[in-house]
Amino acid sequence: MRAALLFALCPVALAQAPDPAYEVLATAYDELRARDYDSAIANFLKGIEAAPKRASIRKDLAYAYLKAGENVLARDQFREAMALDEADVETAMEYAFLCYETKERVQARRVFDRIRRTGAEPFRARAEQAFQNIDAPLAAGIERWRKAIEMGADNFSAHFELATLAEERDELDLAAEHYEKAWRSLPDRRRVLVDLGRVWKAQGRADEANAALLAASRGGEARAAEMARELLPGRYPYVAEFRRALEVDAGNAELRRELAYLLLKMDQQPKAEVEFQRLAETVPEDLLSTTQLAFLLYGRGEVAAAQPLFDRVLAGGDEEMANRVRAVLRIPQVQARPEAQPASIDARVMAERSIKAGYLKDALKYLDIAHESDPGDFNVMLQLGWTYNILHQDGQAVRWFDLARKSSDALVAGEASKAWRNLRGSTELFRTTAWLFPLFSMRWRDLFSYGQVKTELRTGGPVKPYASLRFIGDTRRTIGGVTPMYLSESAFILGLGLRTTSWRGVMAWGEAGSSIGYLTRHMTPDYRGGVSVVRGTGRRMGSETSGWFADTTIDGVFISRYGNDFLAYQQGRLGYTTALGTSQAQFYWNAILTIDASRQAWANFVETGPGLRFAGALLPEHMYFTLNLLRGSYLVGGMARYNDFRAGFWYAVTR
C-alpha cells in the first residue's frame, strides 16, 4: 500500500508549475517571425506582467523594439534585463551601444569601461574599442576648451562646454568647477544650476546638491524648475535648506520670498521681516514683498516706516495690490479699467506661475499669447512642447519641439532635439517599411530582384489599410513561354490593400491595384491576396545562443494576372544556428513545395537541398546573405529535373 501510494504521488511531486507567460510569449514569437512588431510588442509586455523577473523576456522585447525602430524603448528594456541578470555581458553591450546612439554617452562610457576591465573575450576587446571611441574625443575636447580658457575665452559657452565634456568623462571635480563658473557668468541660466546640482549629487555632496536644485526649482526657467523638482526629495524643504540655497543663489527673489512666508507661518515674524526687508531693498519691483513688509510694520504701529512702502505700492501700477493697501488705509478703492489689465500681464511670467501651480491648461493659454506676441521666441516654443507633453498631447508636443530645435541657442536647440527624437516615433500615424531581396540563380544565369515599399495606417483595430509599391524583375528581362515566371513578373505593382494583425502566426491580406510591365509598357489590373502562416521553434536568427531550429512558411496567394490562378508555396527549414558575438549563421536543409490550382507546368515543383544564411557586425542592421544549393523536380508536364545554386541578400528598414 505504501509503495503504491508513493508511486501515485510521484507525478504530483515531480510536476512543474505551468509557465504563466507561455501562451502570450508563444504568440509574441509567432508575430515576431511574421514581422508584426506592434502585436509582438504588446504580447511581450503581457509576458513581462506575468513573469516580471525573467530577463529573457525583456531582452526579446528590446529586440522587437529595435526591429520596430524604437531605439529609446529598446534601450530601456535592455537596462531592465541587465539589472535582472548582471552576468549577461551581451545584454550590457547592447544597452551600452544603444545608450551611445540615444545620446546617453555618460552611461555608455561607464558600461563599456566596466566590461573592458572585467568582461571576457570577445566582449572585452569590443568594449575596449567602443570605450576609446567615446573617451578619446572627450579627452581631446576637454584639452581644447582648457587651452581656450587659458588664452582668454573666459565666458559662459567655454565653461559650459568644458563642464559638459568633463561630466561625460566622469571628471566630476572639473565638471562641478566649470558648471559653477558658467552659472556665475549668467545667473539667469538656472538650467546650469540643475547640472551643477546633479554633479554635486554624484560627488556625494548631498547638502550642496539640494541647495543648487532648490534654487533652480524656484524662479527662472520653468523647464529647469521642473527638472530640479524631479531630483529633489519629495517633501517640502526645511528652513535650513532654504538658507543654504540662498547662499548659492543670493539673488533668487522667489526663493527668498517663499522662505519669508514660511517663517511667517512658523510664527517667526522678526526673521520673516528681515527677508522681506532685503527683498524690498534689492528688488523694488517686487510689490508683493513690499506690501507684506508694510503690513507687518503697520500692524505693530510703525506707521511712519510703513508709509513709504505703501506709497511705492500705490504708485506701482498693480491695482489689485494697491487696492489691498487702500483697504488697510481706509481710502476709496479704484476700479481697474478692463482694458488696462492685460497690458500689465507678462504672458511668459503668468505661464511659468501656472506651470508651477499645476494649472497646465492656463499655462497653455499664456504661452499661446506669448508666442503670438513674439513668434520668434524659441524658449516659448520649447515650453509649449513640454507643457503639451505633460498633458499627454504628444502630437502637439512634437510640432513645438520640432520648431524649437531650430533655435540658435545651443541649450534650447539641444533639449528640443532630444525631446523631438524621443517622441517622433510614437506619434506618427503612418509607418513605412521597405525591403529588398536580390537573388542570383545559376540555373537561369539571371539576377532576379524583389522589393516592396509599403506605407501602413497605424490603426488600433485588427485590420490595417496600406498602400504598396512592389517590384519584381530580372536583368535578362525574360518573358513568355516556359520561363521562370514564378521568379519574375517583370513589373511594378501599385496597390491599395488591407491586412489583418497576426494571430498565432496567421495573417490574411488582400490588395487591388495595377501592374505596370516595364518590358511591355502595358498596365494591367492586378488583384491579389492570400493567407500567410509562419511557424518556428528553436534558436532563430537573432537569438543570443547557438542551437537547433526548425521553421516553416506557408503562403496561399491568389493572383488575377495569371488567369485568376491560386498558388500555394511552402518552405521548411531544419538546421542549426551559431551565435558568435554579433555574427550569426544558420546551416539548414530546405524542403520547398509549390503548386497551383490551374496545374501550370512552371508552377508545380518540389525542391530540396542545403542552405546557409549569415549576418554579421560588418553588415548593416536587418541585412543577411543567403546561399542555397537545390535539387528540383517538376510535378506536371514531364519536365526534367534540375539543379540550381541561388545566392542573395535580404535588407529591410522601417520608418
pLDDT band at 376 (very low <50, low <70, confident <90, very high): confident
Residue 120 vs residue 555, higher pLDDT: 555
Interval 122-136: pLDDT, tens: 888 888 998 998 889
pLDDT at 582: 60
Q: Is the pLDDT of residue 577 over 50?
A: yes
Q: Is the pLDDT of residue 455 over 90?
A: no
The domain ranges of the chain are 251-332, 346-427, 431-654
Mean of pLDDT values over 642-648: 93
Residues 134 and 112 sit within 8 Å (Cβ to Cβ): yes
Residues 588 and 630 sit within 8 Å (Cβ to Cβ): no
Q: Which CATH architecture has domain 251-332?
A: Alpha Horseshoe (1.25)
Cβ burial of 357 (10 Å; 0-12, 13-18, 19+) is exposed
Fold adopted by 346-427: 1.25.40
pLDDT band at 630 (very low <50, low <70, confident <90, very high): very high
pLDDT at 35: 83
Interval 74-94: pLDDT, tens: 899 999 998 998 888 888 999
Rounded Cα distance, 214 and 470, in Å: 59
Identify the three-state secondary structure at position 220.
coil
Mean of pLDDT values over 395-412: 82
Rounded Cα distance, 61 and 41, in Å: 6
Mean of pLDDT values over 415-443: 79
What beta strand segments (E) does 442-560 contain?
A: 446-457, 463-474, 491-500, 506-517, 523-538, 547-559
pLDDT at 5: 46
Interval 457-509: pLDDT, tens: 877 678 889 999 988 887 655 443 333 444 556 788 899 999 988 777 888 99
Closest listed residue to residue 60, CA positions, set 89, 80, 83? 80
Rounded Cα distance, 124 and 128, in Å: 6
251-332 and 346-427 share one CATH topology?
yes
Contacts of 30 (CB under 8 A, 6+ apart): 502, 504, 505, 534, 535, 536
The secondary structure of residue 221, as a DSSP letter, is -
Q: Is the pLDDT of residue 581 over 50?
A: yes
Question: In angstroms, what CA-CA distances link 471 with 102, 124, 450, 522?
Answer: 34, 44, 6, 15
Identify the three-state secondary structure at position 582.
coil
Fold adopted by 431-654: Lipocalin (2.40.128)
Residue 490 vs residue 587, higher pLDDT: 587
Q: Is the pLDDT of residue 388 over 70?
A: yes
Rounded Cα distance, 217 and 386, in Å: 16
- 242, 248, 252, 256: CA torsion to nearest 10: 30
Residue 247 vs residue 589, higher pLDDT: 589
Rounded Cα distance, 203 and 366, in Å: 39
